[in-house]
Amino acid sequence: MENIVVKNGENPNEIRVWHPFNNDLFWKMKSLKNAVWNKSDYTWSLPNTSSSISQLFQAFRGVAWIDLSQYKKVAKTNNSVKPVKKILELPPLTETQKTAVEEFKKHLSSKRYSENTIKTYSDALSSFLRYFHSKPIAEIENEDLIHFNNEYIIAQGLSSSFQNQIVNAVKLFFSVRQAKKLDPELVHRPRREKSLPNVLSKEEVKAILEAPTNLKHRAMLSLIYACGLRRSELLNLTFKDIHSERNLLLIKQSKGKKDRVVPISNKIIELLRAYYKAYKPKTWLFEGQNENEKYSERSIQLVLTQAVKKAKIEKPVTLHWLRHSYATHLLESGTDLRYIQELLGHSSSKTTEIYTHVSTRNLQQIRSPFDDL
């Protein structure tokens, strides 16, 4: 079994968790409560509490070894470390709050929000309302949201993305309620972290795409990279969306309920034709074991996990890395940023501009003054 190493972080209130590259381990860690991924050193941060250690043992029982040798060593020699306050357990929703959350879900559904967005917002709203368990919803004020941010989110080291989800959900929830003291217009979202997208080299992408021996698996991963697709976009495709005579792929009702077209090369079309002859899907371009059933999101992620492992790439690669790599490689080959925006389906050019920070096309031409010494 794999070894998962637990050690104390620089902050006595946190522990750091390291595991060898394995997407199954990565997604298990991501599902843990309060787990935060650190891109700088490929570790996870968790609150330094006994419940965090218990979580690890429960999540990875029979899957991986939990190595506490470094954690114990630091804990014994560092007498200055103070006991960490236990993560605050929120009370359950009251019946009134449950009704309010259900009404909120119905409102989002009527506005045609995606299932993922509805779940994210309703879960965030539930956390906020549970914190004010004994306070009527109509009495909640802007100061209460500030208090929640400071005393629950920030005090416990929860992520800024979670904070942003809370603010988005609360603003939307109270904007449709008549009797309220909280004014959504006065609520401000937290500043976003400016993290760069993860990008693979062309050599790494090639190794990943050539790794699967299964034709369907190779076709799925290749199409994601070749057209810069999101996972959901790939799984919603049908053969009617491929316009081979025009070398175009039609992507329907993607993020933001938008349609777009992207170019598709003859090389990919030939690969898809070979796949179709071998598998003969009925409804969806990529189907699971049962006819007329979409290939599952979890299964495609496992396909990538196996390909990355076979390619001997020790990075926590996700499907979205292929999309990031597609955009960056287009930019490095000289494609105009405006075209890349259209190909990715971004509403704002600012979203696409992030790739200018990871492109090496111009950076490699810069000569360091050190070389002139």
Q: pLDDT per residue over 266-317, tens digit each?
A: 999 999 999 999 999 999 999 988 888 889 888 898 899 899 999 999 888 8
d(CA 356, CA 236): 30
Label residue 81 by pLDDT band (50, 70, 90). very low
The pLDDT, as a whole number, for residue 371 is 65
288-297 CB contacts, 8 Å cutoff, 24+ apart: 294/235, 294/236, 295/220, 295/235, 297/231, 297/232, 297/235
Q: pLDDT per residue over 29-77, tens digit each?
A: 888 888 888 876 778 888 888 778 888 887 887 778 787 777 764 444 4
- Report the run of H or E that residue 36 belongs to, with start and end: strand 36-38
118-125 CB contacts, 8 Å cutoff, 24+ apart: 120/165, 120/169, 121/165, 121/168, 121/169, 121/172, 122/169, 124/162, 124/165, 124/166, 124/168, 124/169, 124/170, 125/101, 125/166, 125/169, 125/170, 125/173
Residue range 326-341: average pLDDT?
88
Higher confidence at residue 101 or residue 28?
101
The pLDDT, as a whole number, for residue 335 is 87
Phi, psi of 122 (to 5 degrees): -70, -35
Residue 79 carries which DSSP code? T
Kindly tell me if the per-residue pLDDT of 194 is higher than 50.
yes
Label residue 85 by pLDDT band (50, 70, 90). very low
Task: Give whichever of 51-60, 179-188, 355-364 has the largest mean pLDDT.
Answer: 51-60
- Known catalytic residues are 230, 255, 320, 323, 346, 355
Q: pLDDT per residue over 211-268, tens digit each?
A: 999 999 999 999 999 999 999 899 999 989 999 999 999 998 777 678 899 999 999 9
Kindly tell me if the per-residue pLDDT of 170 is higher than 60.
yes
Domains and CATH numbers, the chain: 2-77 (3.30.780), 95-186 (1.10.150.130), 202-357 (1.10.443.10)
Mean pLDDT score across all residues of the chain = 83
The pLDDT, as a whole number, for residue 310 is 93
Q: pLDDT per residue over 87-132, tens digit each?
A: 567 788 889 999 999 999 999 999 888 888 888 899 989 989 998 8
The pLDDT, as a whole number, for residue 249 is 92
